Amino acid sequence: MSQTLKRKAPGVRKVAVQQGKARKVKAAKARTGSAIDAIMAWLPFSDEQLHRLFLALIFAAAIAVAGGIASMAGVPALVSAQFASVAADSGFAVRRVDVRGVNHLNELKVYEKVLGETDQAMPLVDIDRLRAHLLELSWVEDARVSRQLPDTLVVDIVERKPHAVLRKADKLVLIDATGHELEAVSRERARGKLIVAGPGAGRQVVALSALLAAAPALKPQVAEAEWVGNRRWNLKFGTGQVLALPQGEQPSANALMAFARLDGVNRLLGGRVAAFDMRAPDRIYFRVPGRTEDEARAAAAAATAKAAAAADRSAAKEPATATKAAGGASPDTAKAREDT
């Protein structure tokens, strides 16, 4: 015989609380839905387009995750190696090296840098690393490496231009316009080039070029420039004459231009003056070789002439004194002589 059990109905207060919560949830959903709807309405996309966009984002995220997992597993490296092997078997491997733009640089040094890539598959050649190795060569200002399929590497070299010769304690070094050292040279190869000397002179080549540009007429005649005391220049011309310039870029440029004007009027270069000193402002001092010795010889000759003249005057006075002494005897002396 079945028996029906009846549950006690919930209290009024509990029902009221549940209804209040339901109303709050419904209001929150209404507010959220209205905000999302407003945003979606603001976007210039239809519902179908938004659906496709969301699917594309999901697929992209999935692909990115798969790629990260594959990269961690080393799959791309294996695929790249396999691809390079197939390319090499198909004839796409380095067999030739074409070097261009080399005039002063020894091409063997370029080949030494590149030969490590020979017989390597073209896709595996690290162009950037090879260029960095070429830039280590002293003559190379810039370099470009490119692949020329199927089997050639093309190396284009931009060489530095020799500008002057830096004199060091034990050798002569060819340098470019920035003071970058290129290679050691002999005296024969250095002949005819501007010689730069002095401690730290290599770092002052740019400033020296600007200084010589202030006097273009004198620039070809400068044979050597010495950086003195890490503050100023002494310029030696092809005539062997030396010009001492003041300290400072502008004062030295002004002094050099003033000397150029003086040389244009008075032909100072090639004359007797051995050195010109323009370190003092608004003045120029000259040093003439042998001038001191000439003055000493002239003074000695004058002294000798003066002594000879004095001796001549003394010799001329002695006979007159003797004659006076003979003609001036007293009368008694004369009478005594007569009696005798």
Per-residue confidence (pLDDT) for residue 263, from 0 to 100: 94
Per-residue confidence (pLDDT) for residue 103, from 0 to 100: 92
Per-residue confidence (pLDDT) for residue 289, from 0 to 100: 84
Per-residue confidence (pLDDT) for residue 303, from 0 to 100: 61
Q: What tens digit of pLDDT does each residue of 34-90 get?
A: 555 566 566 666 667 666 777 777 767 777 776 666 566 554 544 444 444 444 444
Per-residue confidence (pLDDT) for residue 88, from 0 to 100: 44
Q: What tens digit of pLDDT does each residue of 85-104 get?
A: 444 444 457 788 899 999 99
Per-residue confidence (pLDDT) for residue 7, from 0 to 100: 53
Per-residue confidence (pLDDT) for residue 33, from 0 to 100: 52
How big is the CA angle at 217 (ends 259 and 233), to the nearest 5 degrees?
50
Mean pLDDT of 294-312: 61
Q: Picking from 69-73, 146-150, 319-323, 326-330, which range would have the lowest pLDDT averaged per residue?
A: 326-330
Strands 162-167 and 152-159: unpaired
Q: What tens digit of pLDDT does each residue of 162-203 get?
A: 999 999 989 999 999 999 999 999 999 999 999 999 999 999
Say if residue 208's pLDDT is above 70.
yes
Say if residue 283's pLDDT is above 60.
yes
CATH numbers and ranges of domains, the chain: 92-159 (3.10.20.310), 162-287 (3.40.50.11690)
Q: What tens digit of pLDDT does each residue of 138-173 get?
A: 999 999 999 888 888 899 999 999 999 999 989 999
Per-residue confidence (pLDDT) for residue 63, from 0 to 100: 73
Per-residue confidence (pLDDT) for residue 286, from 0 to 100: 92
**Res. 215 pLDDT band, cuts 50 70 90:** very high
Say if residue 333's pLDDT is above 50.
no
CB proximity list for 240: less than 8 A, separation 6 or greater:
274
Edge-first strand listing for the sheet containing 181-185: 181-185, 172-176, 162-167, 195-197, 222-228, 232-237, 242-244, 275-277, 285-287
Per-residue confidence (pLDDT) for residue 45, from 0 to 100: 60
Q: What tens digit of pLDDT does each residue of 250-277 get?
A: 999 999 999 999 999 999 999 999 999 9
Q: What tens digit of pLDDT does each residue of 107-150 get?
A: 999 988 887 766 677 778 889 999 999 999 999 999 999 988 88
Per-residue confidence (pLDDT) for residue 112, from 0 to 100: 87
Per-residue confidence (pLDDT) for residue 97, from 0 to 100: 87
Per-residue confidence (pLDDT) for residue 299, from 0 to 100: 60
Global pTM? 0.59
